[in-house]
Amino acid sequence: MSGTALLQAIVDGILTGGVYALMAAGLTLIFGVMDIINIAQGVMVVLGAYLSYELSAHLGIGLLPGLLITVPAMFALGVALEFFFMRRLREQDRTGMSILITFAVAILIEGALSAIYGVDYVQLHSSYVDKSVYVLGFYLPYIYLIGFGLAVALLAGLYWMLYRTKFGRAVRASLQNRTAADLIGINVNRTRTISVGIGVAVTAVGGMVFGATNAFNPNSGYDLISRLLAIVILGGMGSIGGAMGAAILMLVVSDVVAVAWSPTWAPLVFFAALVIVLSIRPQGLFGSPAIRAQ
């Protein structure tokens, strides 16, 4: 194996890791705010991809401008999900029950998509999807550069929102102690509703990039969810920066193993690394022990 091939694998891993971070961001945000494990995240990514597909294939709206429509639409969906499903869960068994309720949501969304689109695969197309730029001996695909840029911008935005704004303080206060947050005048329900809305809205962006880099159908979400869960667990449940770091680590490890050793071993090595990291740091790479203790 040449040094060039290894370097190419690292670059590929970083860029693709950005795409996975985009898809996982909503999952870790919703867990961080509500202790809810959103099993529907993979299907929501696919839903985001279909919304972009609908706009681009049938209305002629480009993938990036289309986000101005799909992001608010997914925000509305997130708000509805929180209002109708997540809010009903009791505090004591919220995390466990959330797996069941979000699985039901996944089946609902997948069923609706299957009824509308069938099972044929589609992929998002745009003039820049297959284009690439030649830099220092490597062809870097525009779509992955765009995905990585969006990931950095959105995750930085989420981080800023959570740690530098009054709303972010309300979110973190609601997570740490609901009763105390209520007593100091924070509208906990509204804070959580908006947070879930934001988490699902971010998924619209991840869905667009996923759909432009992969052929997908309504069933594609199931392949995604295990990887997304692995990323947020490795990064630390609830950690926005952790999702980015873990996604890049996961993809770089997978891609380097695929190139240096064999593609067959890439998933195994990643999950072995996941087990090793969690045995040393149960809260994940960037997670807070307090969250794990809850």
Partner 1 sequence: MKIFRRCAMAGLVVGAVALLAACGSSSSSSGSAGTSSSPITIGTSLSLSGDFAADGQAFQKGYQLWVHDQNAKGGLMGHKIQLKVLSDASSPAQVVTNYQTLIGSDKVPLVFGPFSTLLTAPSARVAARYGYAFVEGAGGAPAVFTQGLHNVFDVSVPVKLNLVTWAQWVASLPASQRPKTAAFATVDDPFTSPQIPEARSILKSVGVKTVYSKVFPMEVADYTPVAGQVASTHADAFVLGSVDVPTVSAFIHSFIQQHYNPKLFIATAGPDQGATFVKAIGSGNENGIFVPNGWYPGFQKADSQQLVKEYIAKYGGTASGVNADVAEAYAVGQVLAQAVAATHSLDNGKIMSYLHSGVTLDSVQGPVKFNSLGENTAGKTLTFQWQNGNLVQSLPTSTAGSKAPTYPKPAFKG
Q: Which residues contact 273 (CB under 8 A, 6 or more apart)?
A: 249, 253
Binding piece for partner 1, criterion CB under 8 A, among 5-13, 29-37, 172-180, 280-288: 5-13
Told to check if 238 binds partner 1 by CB under 8 A, we report: no
SS3 category, 138: strand
Told to check if 92 binds partner 1 by CB under 8 A, we report: no
Binding piece for partner 1, criterion CB under 8 A, among 3-11, 44-52, 156-164, 175-183: 3-11
Contact 52, 208 (CB under 8 A): yes
SS3 category, 103: helix
Told to check if 217 binds partner 1 by CB under 8 A, we report: yes
Among 160, 262, 272, 290, binds partner 1 (CB under 8 A): 262
Q: Which x/- pattern over 170-189 shows residues binding partner 1 (rule: CB under 8 A)?
A: --------------------
* Phi, psi angles (nearest 5°) of residue 130: -95, 5
Q: Which two tokens stand for residue 229?
A: 């869960």
Helix (H) or strand (E) segment spanning residue 255: helix 240-260
Among 62, 72, 111, 282, binds partner 1 (CB under 8 A): 111
Told to check if 107 binds partner 1 by CB under 8 A, we report: yes
Q: Which two tokens stand for residue 95?
A: 């995390």
Among 215, 272, 275, 276, binds partner 1 (CB under 8 A): 215
Identity of the residue, 93 or 120, whose beta carbon is nearer to partner 1 in the bound complex: 120
Among 27, 146, 251, 285, binds partner 1 (CB under 8 A): 251
SS3 category, 125: coil
Binding piece for partner 1, criterion CB under 8 A, among 58-66, 150-158, 197-205, 211-219: 211-219
Report the alpha-carbon distance of residue 140 to residue 132 in Å, rounded. 5
DSSP string, 208-253: HHHHHHS-B-GGGHHHHHHHHHHHHHHH-TT-HHHHHHHHHHHHHH
In the complex, the residues that contact partner 1 under the rule CB under 8 A are 4-5, 8-9, 12-13, 16, 20, 84, 104, 107-108, 110-111, 114, 118-123, 125, 129-132, 139, 141, 213-217, 219-220, 222-223, 227, 250-251, 254-255, 258-259, 262-264, 266-267
